[in-house]
Amino acid sequence: MHRMWSMCEILSTRRSLLWGGLKMVGDILFINLTDGSSWVENRRELVEKYIGGSGLAIKLLNELCPEKVDPFAPENPIILAPGPFIGLYPVCSKTVAMFKSPLTGNLGESHAGGRLGVAIRLAGYEAVIIIGVASKLVWLDIKSDGEIKVNGASSLQKMGSLHTIMALNASSQYGLGSVAAIGPAGEKFVFYANVSVDGYNFFGRTGLGAVMGAKNLKAIRVIGSGEISVKDLDGYKRTFERIYEEVVKSGKMRKYHDLGTPQNVLTLNKIKALPTMNFKRGYFEYAENISGEYFADNLLVRKNTCPLCPIGCKHVAILKSFFAEEHEVESIEVGYDYEPIYALGSNLGIGDPLDVLKLRAACDRYGLDAMMTGTMLAWATEAYEKGLISLNETIVEPRWGIADNYIEMIKQIVEMPNEFYVSMAQGKAYKNLGEEFLIAIGGNGLAGYHTGLAFIIGTAIGARHSHLSNAGYSLDQKLLGSTIDTIKAVEALIEEEVWRCILESCGVCLFAREVYDRRTVLEALNTIG
């Protein structure tokens, strides 16, 4: 981590950015849910040193989170920090959330796209920090004029995150608005409950939804109506146009626009690196049925995008459910990308694309991280196969390829009717049975790459035990068929993680990592201040 900060200091510049002509750079909003109070502290010195996003958030977490605090304690802060490129440059929309994770007991870090980062910036803040716990279920309303309201949320209780977002968006006012909300899993403190942002973006993986639930916080709405000014307007325009041209014409991001990350399904299956049936093997015989090509040709209905992003990487399918005679149909839109396809598809032996969408829809309905949900279902299936658990624990039989049973188990994970499902909700092997095949590192379920040693090392040394920290899976594929020098591999992974921390501090989406090289990042920072 020391290497990260030294690079942050090299890249950071003295900024004189004005927010809507009202607030100086460095304003951080604090909200205490215990007494409903809020205040602003100016920490310009931190912004100048740590840029924003990940850099600013981890520094604030180090200051504010007590050592050894219970993740569900009022003192565990939720820090939301957009980077300085958000609202200014293409493919920059990632807001960073930091907190102590209930799932790993360590760093809780998650990144979400959507409008939230732009809304926070237009409201005039470098970061929003939430502490304390409300006496009843509430939702927060944050506006540009400094008006902060803590509203009762009894009418939203047990409501899915998407319906909560729709309800709060319906009453939004002038300005760019964004809503982040939890579902029933967050209210029940499932350790890997996620937070949905604007419907198709998620703070996933490390349990932010559970931390919000522990604070009795159902949702956060931010409405920003200010402006973002830059120091060098002419330089900003030139830099913006150059970046935009490279994004749309260079081909570096074509994958994400065309098939999106589901393109990985057939690529990984071909090299026998697609995790199948709890990582028992790397080849799935029905991979073509759940491939990006199949989804695009047969189920894709539209693409979603984040502010100032021309890519449209969020691929959305339609799922129709018949619920009565006379062709009574419920149609819902379900976002799909590679990780949920692996976690709820090949890793569960599910080869029907509609079943994958049904499982993803169930996770979204309850507000569960799809990857960790798939990890737990796969573990339970193998444990059941080996006779370590029985129907007395599982209630419904976990069987490879049987989606309806898994959907019922997802419901039980949230309801927690017995000790087995309490363990499932905590991301733990029941009574420590079969721990050796619960596929997780540091408590966090593995991503969908059965590529080799660099992926495992990268996940282990990554600050949040995520494949996105340093892309070990990519290094494996580059070295396919070669013997890996572990020392050089670790050095390469650390170097990659340091640079990704810089990008995440600026607010850059990692899909654009080939566009935002060091020269471009420095140039962009200099133009804004």
Distance separating alpha carbons of residues 360 and 341, to the nearest angstrom = 8
CB 85 within 8 A of CB 503: no
Q: How many CB atoms lie within 10 A of CB 386?
A: 11
Residue 413 one-letter amino acid? I
Could you tell me which residues are beta bridge partners of residue 206? none
CB 94 within 8 A of CB 114: no
User: What b/e readout covers 338-368, taking b as 16+ CB neighbours within 10 angstroms?
Assistant: bbbbbbbbbbbbbbebbbbbbbbbbbbbbbb
Could you tell me which residues are beta bridge partners of residue 304? 314
Distance separating alpha carbons of residues 147 and 132, to the nearest angstrom = 19
* Residue-range domains of the chain with CATH: 2-229 (3.60.9.10), 262-415 (1.10.569.10), 453-512 (no CATH)
pLDDT value of position 166: 94
Q: What's the token pair of residue 410?
A: 């997802």
Q: How many CB atoms lie within 10 A of CB 419?
A: 11
- Closest residue by Cα to residue 52 from 228, 201, 211: 228
Element spanning 407, H or E: helix 403-415
Instruction: For the chain, 529 residues long, give each residue's pLDDT as a single digit of tens.
Output: 333 333 333 333 223 233 333 344 899 999 999 999 999 999 999 999 999 999 999 999 999 999 999 999 999 999 999 999 999 999 999 999 999 999 999 999 999 999 999 999 999 999 999 999 999 999 999 998 889 999 999 999 999 999 999 999 866 666 689 999 999 999 999 999 999 999 999 999 999 999 999 999 999 999 998 999 899 999 999 999 999 999 999 999 999 999 999 999 999 999 999 999 999 999 999 999 999 999 999 999 999 999 999 999 999 999 988 877 777 888 999 999 999 999 999 999 999 999 999 999 999 999 999 999 999 999 999 999 999 999 999 999 999 999 999 999 999 999 999 999 999 999 999 999 999 999 999 999 999 999 999 999 999 988 888 988 888 888 889 888 788 888 998 999 999 999 999 999 999 999 999 999 999 999 999 999 8
pLDDT value of position 323: 79
CB 476 within 8 A of CB 453: yes
**DSSP 8-state code for residue 431:** G
pLDDT value of position 15: 34
Largest CA distance in the chain: 69
